[in-house]
Amino acid sequence: GQNIDQPTEMTATEGAIVQINCTYQTSGFNGLFWYQQHAGEAPTFLSYNVLDGLEEKGRFSSFLSRSKGYSYLLLKELQMKDSASYLCATTDSNYQLIWGAGTKLIIKP
Amino acid sequence: EAGVAQSPRYKIIEKRQSVAFWCNPISGHATLYWYQQILGQGPKLLIQFQNNGVVDDSQLPKDRFSAERLKGVDSTLKIQPAKLEDSAVYLCASSNGLAGDSSYNEQFFGPGTRLTVL
């Protein structure tokens, strides 16, 4: 079967660091995406990992371990505008995106 | 570069009525997706087009939902008749990758249509 798990909600403080985890089981694997979705808006692309390791892009980094079926999104120097849902999505053997339910991140001052 | 356009942004209908959504993808993008996103859940793929052909419609409730992409550009998604459980945001996305393409294939999303069925 195909399954993606991520926490439903997380809370963090402005200026801090937060790590959002994602575990997946898919029939075949062809990369993992992280998208950000503000309330009432469409998802926007954050990162893409296809090989193991850490990809850093400014305040955001994404990590992938294919052998463990695991990824995380790391957000540093949190800002209030980072309050959003973060969606993990993998591509299966047909290169279709399989989406997680998303993690709602709440940033407190 | 203009993004993915969708209309209407909001729609309220009563159950058993019909509704249609329109999507104009990014120019040159061969692949177009329609997703249904229920509040608190991730997007669920309804149908994927490559140009004007259907690649995947396995999760489209075909007894009430239909979609077309004539001429391989704009697309419409129709629900007839609507049910209460169809209340959701309907997202259209496009990409310049092709079905089965092994290369990186980012999807660009439109603003969505929020449908409320009463």
Q: Read off the pLDDT of residues A72-107 as tens digits, 9 standing for 90 and up.
A: 999 999 999 999 999 999 987 777 788 999 999 999
Preferred mutation among B26, B60, B105 to probe A, highest tally of A CBs within 10 A? B105
**3-state secondary structure (DSSP) of residue A90:** strand
Q: A74: closest CA among A106, A104, A34?
A: A34
Q: Measuring CA to CA, how many Å separate A30 from each of A4, A27, A102, B62, B109?
A: 14, 10, 20, 29, 20
Amino acid B7 reads S
| CB of A15 closer than 8 Å to CB of A66 | no
- Residue A15 has a pLDDT of 97
Average pLDDT over residues B105-115: 91
CB pairs under 8 A between A and B: 50
Q: How confident is the model at residue B38 (pLDDT cuts 50, 70, 90)?
A: very high
| CB of A88 closer than 8 Å to CB of A21 | no
- Residue B40 has a pLDDT of 86
A44 touches chain B (CB under 8 A): yes
Neighbours of A42 (CB within 10 A): 22
Query: Average pLDDT over chain A, rounded to whole?
Result: 92
Which B residues, 27 through 46, put their C-beta within 8 Å of a C-beta on chain A?
Answer: 40-45
Per the model's pLDDT, the better-predicted residue between B35 and B51 turns out to be B35
Q: CA of A34, closest CA in chain B: separation in Å?
A: 11
Cα(B24)–Cα(A84) distance, integer angstroms: 26
Q: Which residues of A touch B58 (CB under 8 A)?
A: none
Average pLDDT over residues B38-44: 90
The yes-or-no verdict on residue B20 having pLDDT over 60 is yes
Cα(B20)–Cα(B23) distance, integer angstroms: 10
Burial environment of residue B116 by CB neighbours within 10 A (0 to 12, 13 to 18, 19 or more): middle
The yes-or-no verdict on residue B31 having pLDDT over 60 is yes
| CB of A52 closer than 8 Å to CB of A66 | yes
Q: CA of A108, closest CA in chain B: separation in Å?
A: 21
- Residue A3 has a pLDDT of 87
- Residue A98 has a pLDDT of 87
Q: Which residues of B touch A64 (CB under 8 A)?
A: none
Q: Measuring CA to CA, how many Å separate A109 from each of A13, A90, A104, B116?
A: 6, 33, 16, 34
- Residue A91 has a pLDDT of 83
Residue A94 to residue B105, Cβ atoms within 8 A: no
| CB of B92 closer than 8 Å to CB of B6 | yes
Q: Measuring CA to CA, how many Å separate B79 from each of A36, A79, A99, B73?
A: 28, 40, 23, 20
Report chain B's terminal Cα–Cα distance, integer Å: 37
